[in-house]
Structure 1
């Protein structure tokens, strides 16, 4: 408990939450984050619902992008809205989250053991556990130094920035590892948007992720 209190009081730690149309879940994620640090930033990525207001009502500072530019653009906007040394990144649709999970993510970086920790779900539910473990390098739950993340080339140009971040880990020789987040899950797209719209959104997401290498090689 002592170590968590020390982390929670640190003015150099921020939680950043990129969000697109997540009005139903973002408030709960923000409230947990505020138990961990007072510096919580939500970047609403051109949301057409009440995501921004829900985040404000929960106590976050909110950056509103006027157009939907993708998760990379929202992440950069959130990074630019804080001066914290260390940042914890969270998706806005998490369930089962607690301040203890943020401690699990932040501690290895804060203590200098890792340059980035990447959270993977364990015991949160079959669908999200399976998807997260099949592609753990695509997890949105991470902790790292803010300046390192700002150094990722073309971060704001990627609708889904995880492949660019993974490449930067390799290029910079960063120390990283997966850490388990017990009983955390995500609300799947099919549940949030209806089956067909959710499936379409998922297909577009994976198409963007899988073509990252090809797009990057284009002149």
Structure 2
């Protein structure tokens, strides 16, 4: 069992996520995706193994690097900017996968805060909180080629007819980009993210 946490400039929150993950398993891998702050140092101090990428390559390549850094059969992937996460949340996410009921469980926020809940409910398929078999995730086409891994993961769920469902993570929330980076920088980062997500199928077709 391993927890993989891609993180870009998350020094304020990554330690809390690592500590919750280490209550579940000692195999916690944080991939610092070209962070310019103390993300890597803070994650190590909290007990994670750190893969420190020299430049920012995106969440997809960072996730793949984290998966390649562990040999665990099952993995939980988490964002590095979560607040309120506990071992119980991770066990709830893992339970249907370990029981063989689902191939992937996708965590969605409930009761953690209006903005975080609302955003997660609008686009639950973009959630970064997931549990599945490591070999299944490594088999996702374009996982390491896309800056955001959620669209190729969604495609792979459909093409493999995988069993999946949402699992509520009560009282967990995500720090908004606008809060972390300031309103305008955060808004620009969010705009770039959605632009990249919306053009995924165009890139996929172009490379066929």
TM range (shorter): over 0.9
Partner of 2:115, secondary structure, is: helix
Which of 140, 148, 155 is matched with 1:160 structurally?
Answer: 148
Q: Which residue of structure 2 aligns with residue 134 of structure 1?
A: 122
Structure 2 residues not aligned, in runs of 5+: none
In 2, distance between residues paired with 1:168 and 1:26? 28
Q: TM-score, normalised by structure 1?
A: 0.94
Is 1:178 the counterpart of 2:175? The answer is no
Unaligned runs of 5+ in 1: 1-12
1:18 aligns with 6
From 27, 30, 34, give the equivalent of 2:18. Answer: 30
Runs of 4+ in 1 over 2 A off after TM superposition: none
For residue 16 of structure 2, give the secondary structure of its aligned residue in structure 1: helix
Residue 139 of structure 1: how far off its partner (Å): 0.1
| Alignment-derived partner of residue 182 in structure 2 | 194
Which SS does the other structure have where 1:64 is aligned?
strand
- Counterpart secondary structure, 1:36: coil
- CA drift at 1:214: 1.2
TM-score normalised to structure 2 length:
0.99
Q: CA deviation at 1:36?
A: 0.8
For 1:49 and 1:73, the matched residues in 2 are separated by 19
* Number of aligned residue pairs: 207
Residue 27 of structure 1, CA deviation: 0.5
Q: Return the structure number with greater helix share.
A: 1
User: CA separation in 2, counterparts of 1:179 and 1:211?
Assistant: 28
Deviation at 1:129, TM superposition (A): 0.2
